Structure 1
Amino acid sequence: MPAKGGTRRRSSSVYNQYHPPTSYRPTLPPGHEEPSSFPDIKLFFRRNRRRMRSRQFLFLITIVGLFAVSLYCLRGTTLPSLAPEVADLLKTPTHTRPQSEKQDAQPKSEPPRVGDSHPMWQLIKDNEMEFERKLAAQSKTLPEAVVEYKRRYGIPPPPNFDKWFAFAKEREVVLIDEFDMIHHSLTPFWGLKPQTIRRRTQEALGFGNNLMGVLIRNGEVRKIGEGGAADWQIEATQGMMKNFVKHLPAMDLAFNVHDEPRVVVPHDDLERLVKDAVDNQMPAANAVEKPRNSWSPRPKDLGDGSRFEDIKTTRFNVFAHQPTWTHSRMSCPANSPARISLEDEPARDNYDSYALGELGFVYNATAFSDVCQSPSFGSTFGFFDRPNAYNIVHDLFPVFSQSKISSYNDILYPSPWYWAGKVKYDDKSDRAWTAKEDKIWWRGSTTGGFSRDGGWRRQHRQHVVQKINANDQAKILTNSSPEGGQENWQVKEVPRSDYSAIFDIFFSH
């Protein structure tokens, strides 16, 4: 949906106003498009395993470490961070690589040109090229990582960054410089006073609110639990932290025990917090010439960690099994598609911000997942229809959650469900790769939301299964050129049943 002047409106949430879309795909020069064959599948999965391992360990250590830094240390009159010998590098960046070798911190967001080849093939090739460039540009040493961190994020790295770097290297993390997700999740909190953040955590834990509390004192977990947390979640959370909790300051943390997110802040409040963070607080932290590699003393308003303070009131409101779309779009700008779309009008998604062509090949995953751009989600996604749990707050509270929608302000962390091995993969029960069939196979449950009076028909899993197995027409791309000629991919409408053999998608329970 073009904005005024013919310019495409990009991802419009406050998050994306200061976090440019990260899914730009560089294009091949004219005449260099490759034929539509697919890369070696073993190489494809090997690279994806490498990416997953990088994300896991990078995010695991940053969920608490960098959160503690942003909230407790890089604020106020003393801003502890790096050791003096490392901090000197920030003033004399002689250890940096040439600028041309570094990953651009401001990627472009224009849609790629796909040329004559199949769009999917072009997007895969472009993505591979982008990833290889990013991989080659990663810091190899601690001094390089320090300088690159400050260049990207405009603040010094946190205390014990050297210990984190060693932790990551020991586990062969390859994307050593990538902190975008945690950085942008924490940016609004820089607009709050540290004592406000601490008090809100205590308030959230003191009323229960289905939040598991973790109280850290003297480098160990002093108390954990309550809030309806299951035993496995308590044990898994402690296990995830045990290798680095000794490096953390005294702090209270709130972990969401539900799958559904908990925090969504109105757009005007969120915009104000982000502006204060970017314009005032972060530059002040960056101006410290010799930050220390140590934590501030335990604040006086933080107890000894032996108990959760009892709080009589709460700002969290509970209303499960009811529509949540109105609340979920509160953080979207007033002129975004999600806010201007009314229920008595067809939902008009900002399709051009993330998809190519009539069949909608996604080139910008950030914009594609931004609910502010896609009001149609309000009637096609189970969470917005009737979630099984909904315990929400509209002020900025520091809540760690395992999943969230783009418009929510929870802080993501790796799910303890998988860390605890609650869903195990047995390779002995799997088929050899050569024995697998060329089809898309899926089995799953009818979860995704609460159903009342046939409401299950509006949920996303049901939409997918129904669409794939429908007895109607489908659109595909076909190459109309003769064999050996220049490719010419055109949209063609065919009976969906003609391709039923390549799909095996049904509910199991």
Structure 2
Amino acid sequence: MIVKEGKAGFPEGVHPIEHLMSKAEGRFIQMMLVVQTDSLRDAADAYRKKRGRHPPPGFDAWYKYAASHEAVVIEDFWDQIYQDLAPFWSFEPVLLRKQGHVFSPKLSIRDAKVEAHAYNVYPKLDIWADMLRTLVENENVTLPDMDIPFNVDDEPALLVPWETVDTAVSLARPLLLDSTDVSTEYSGLEDVGTLAADFTFDPEWLGARLTHPDSHLGPRPLWSLVRPACPPGSPARSGHVFNDIWDPEGATSEDHSATALLPLQLPEGTLKGYAENWTRTIDACQQPNLQGLHGAFVTPNAMKVATKLFPLFGDTKLSMSSEILIPGATEWNRSASLSSASNDTWKDKAEKLYWRGPVTQGHDPARYWQRFHRHRLVSMLNATHVEIAEASIHSGNESSVGVGYAKTFKLLPANEYHLKSQTGGQLAEWVNEEANVAFVDLKCDMEVEGHGCPYLDEYFSIAKPSRESNMYKYGIVVDADSGDDGGDLIRSLASGKVTMRASVYRKWYDSRLVPWLHYVPIDNTFVDLYGILEYFQGTQVSEEARHFPHAVGEVQHHEHHFKTPTWETEEDTGEHEHTEQTTDAEADHQHHGSSLASSTVLDVDAPTGNEPHDFEHTHASLRKRDEHGHDAAAKKIADEGRAWAEKVLRKEDMLIYVYRLLLEYARIVDDRRERLGWVMDLSND
């Protein structure tokens, strides 16, 4: 049979998502059949073939530990370790040891004892100390003494110029010595105290403001440090810093407004608009407009960045930053509960996208909130916001075409994703059918009572935080960057939901997850969000979904005549009763400064007598099996994600990753590192 291919390189008549899922499954099968190792000898062979060196001393104990926990051992799983450590092979080991010894905060391992050293109290450091103690206290684990410097902030700390890192990596030449020339014992740290007695190390941290003599120029955009860390020729490096975004007087050009930076066509590097390469998707160097569209770049919460290259462990790493990744503190805490995740089957889950969360990432929200990714997500899944965006599609003003009321998103003008839901002006009703999304806190930077915020209440209602059990009752969730290591992705996968993932961060587990098989990758602008939802959920709209607070008529008369969807309560199901449409009198009341949305909190947990409150009854009606959707494909991703998370994202897998990482780090800081290795399998030949 000959299958005719279209211009995009996949069979005609096949949806891009179907093609991406098929490719992902083939890649996974290849990985499991060809790459997985089942013995110590095979694991050592795979190591030498991929790394060009002998495994580090203690590799046999590491493999035994992994095997005893029934871990999946695939050499590719640890690629991130070698990418992170590669530059430090060109540094003098004694310098690395001294830097680690004098740095604070840090964790130290001495004679299998872990101690935290810091000038302040850092909860994350204490959790990491607990993680390491859990590892070293195992009688079958032996780790050499070492000092481990940590970044305890929730934001990246090392943005080193690309040329510096590239030179360091190029100078590191792997050597595969004859087994008779290999030393199998680490040197230890007995002399580090003496060596570092008079040693000082200043990372020269850079903050959010320029210092004298440039202090008059205003704030220091994080992007001014991101750009030099990107490779030459990348869009970020070739482009400019949009300094006017951070102009002290607020004089930002219209070209750099949030909606002006959003795409007008399908994203580059995708398959007809759908993410094809996760590494590219999270790479901000390929998407310079993210400097004005993501809180991590617009206004970091605690900007503290060095441009020097030195070993620094942490759980936050951008594609161009130089931290050494380690499983996150919150991931470690939450992983204990994975075994207790819901056992609900796919048919028991409501066919809706569900999200609850606070506003995170980015300070000074009064000025910048329209640029924050979570505000964009919630706006895009708010029927009233979408209705206004639809109404502006054919407006004569180019700057406002397809722009939502909150000016956080805009619809593509030509329906480039061929959304059936967007034809005939039905997108808002469809969004109301498919999504249940709300903030639980608006993170206001003003003195207010409760969780509202004067400059946001006009646009967003808030819900009370949902019980975790409620989250398991939905089939689709979004994992959007939260500003900390979160652990949300691991939890979502383990609970058997389709997890739509948008991020600018690398994680320790990226190389062990396959996009479009274990989760659904989405663009950081969310431009592909509707296309993905429509593919899986279909296009049916119930009569109930047609009733939501409409605002188009009022907005055409006055832009402030608007009311967001507000509900008095939500039942255990997480579903809501819709309010009546906003009246002119209510709109006028809002316009005069007393927003009806501001005092309303959605209670998603406490049944109040509003019908329906029987979740099983409601739930059955929600699994509508839309003939235009692809429920079986969604179920496959949910099932594959859960099954794989239970195999490779356990607490034990985090420890196995850390064990391997620390063996490699101990070798890099050892004066005899070029000769250190494990060759027992070769000496037995």
TM-score bin (small chain): 0.5 to 0.7
Kindly state the Cα deviation for residue 158 of structure 1 after the two structures are TM-superposed.
Answer: 1.1
Alpha-carbon distance in structure 2 between the residues aligned to 1:197 and 1:114: 53
- Structure 1 vs Structure 2: percent identity of aligned residues? 25
Aligned to 1:153: 51
Q: Quick one: which of 264, 267, 271 aligns to 1:356? A: 271
Question: Partners of 2:317 and 2:235 in 1: how far apart?
Answer: 20
Distance 2:224 2:187 in 1: 42
The amino acid of 1:260's aligned partner reads: E
Q: Give the alignment of 1:372-387 within 5 angstroms.
A: 372-387=285-300
Q: Residue 412 of structure 1: CA displacement?
A: 0.8
Q: Residue 239 in 1 paired to residue 137 in 2?
A: no
For 1:409, which of 298, 322, 333 is the aligned residue?
322
- In the alignment, the residues of structure 1 paired with residue 45 and residue 347 of structure 2 have an alpha-carbon distance, to the nearest angstrom, of 46
Give the alignment partner of residue 248 of structure 1, picking from 143, 154, 176.
143
2:230 pairs, out of 319, 332, 342, with 332
Shift of 1:333: 2.1
Whether 2:7 is the aligned partner of 1:31: answer no
Of stretches 360-369 and 229-238 in structure 1, the one that deviates more from structure 2 is 229-238
Tell me the secondary structure at the aligned position of residue 506 of structure 1. strand
269, 273, 296: which one aligns with 2:164: 269
Secondary structure of 1:392's match? coil
CA shift for structure 1 position 225: 3.1
- Structure 1 residue 236: deviation in Å? 4.5
> 1:394 matched to which residue of 2?
307
1:186 equivalent to 2:80? Answer no
- Whole-Å Cα distance in 1 between the matches of residues 57 and 359 of structure 2? 45
Q: 1:243 to 1:313 in 2, by over 3 A?
A: closer
Aligned Cα RMSD in Å?
3.6
- State the match for 1:132 in structure 2: 29
Is contact 1:203-1:314 (8 Å) kept? Answer: no
CA 1:229 to 1:172, structure 2 compared with 1: closer, same or farther past 3 Å? farther
State how far apart, in whole Å, the 2-side matches of 1:332 and 1:312 are.
Answer: 26
> What's the CA shift for 1:263?
0.9
- From the CA coordinates, give the structure whose radius of gyration is larger: 2
- Per-residue deviation, residues 142-194 of structure 1 (Å, max 9, x unmatched): 11111111111211111111111111112222243222111111111112111
Matched residue, 2:207:
318
Match of 2:109 in 1: 216
Cα distance in 1, alignment partners of residues 2 and 53 from structure 2:
40
- C-alpha distance in 2, partners of 1:465/1:309? 54
Corresponding residue for residue 427 of structure 2: 496
Partner in structure 2 of residue 208 of structure 1: none
* Structure 2 segments unaligned to the other structure (5+ residues): 210-218, 243-252, 391-410, 442-685
Give the distance between the partners of 2:190 and 2:266, measured in 1 at CA.
Answer: 51
Q: Is the partner of 1:135 in helix, strand or coil?
A: helix
Asked if 2 retains the 8 angstrom alpha-carbon contact of 1:204 and 1:314, the reply is no
The CA deviation string for residues 74-104 of structure 1, in whole angstroms up to 9 with x for no partner, is: xxxxxxxxxxxxxxxxxxxxxxxxxxxxxxx
CA contact (8 A) 2:116 2:129 kept: no
Against the structure 1 CA distance between its residues 267 and 505, is the aligned structure 2 distance closer, same or farther, given a 3 Å change threshold?
A: same
Relative to structure 1, the CA distance from residue 113 to residue 419 in structure 2 (aligned partners, 3 Å threshold; closer, same or farther) is: same
| 1:37-48 map, 5 Å | none
Match of 1:120 in 2: 17
Change beyond 3 A, Cα 1:227–1:397: farther
TM-score normalised by structure 2 residue count: 0.50
Alpha-carbon deviations, 1:192-216, whole Å to 9, x = none?
A: 11112222223432xxxxxx31112
Match of 1:72 in 2: none
Instruction: Show the counterpart of 1:294.
Output: 184
Residues 114/272 of structure 1: CA separation in 2 closer, same or farther (3 Å cut)? farther
Structure 1 segment 168-187 matched on structure 2, within 5 A:
168-178=66-76, 179-187=78-86
C-alpha displacement at 1:299, in angstroms? 4.8
Decide whether the 8 Å contact of 1:316 with 1:393 is kept in 2.
Answer: yes
1:226 aligns with 2:118: yes
The secondary structure found in structure 2 opposite 1:505 is strand
Matched pairs, number: 381
Give the letter for the 2:129 counterpart: T
Measure, in 2, the Cα distance between the counterparts of 1:348 and 1:332. Answer: 21
TM-score normalised by L of structure 1: 0.66
The residue type paired with residue 226 of structure 1 is A
The range that moved more, 143-152 or 311-320, is 311-320
Classify 1:491/1:146 alpha carbon distance in 2 versus 1 (closer, same or farther; 3 Å): farther
Match of 2:377 in 1: 464
The 1:435–1:302 alpha-carbon spacing in structure 2 relative to 1, beyond 3 Å, is same
2:84 counterpart letter in structure 1: S
List alignment gaps of at least 5 residues for structure 1.
1-28, 34-110, 206-211, 481-489
| Change over 3 Å in CA distance of 1:426–1:216 after alignment to 2 | closer
Aligned equivalent of 1:505:
437
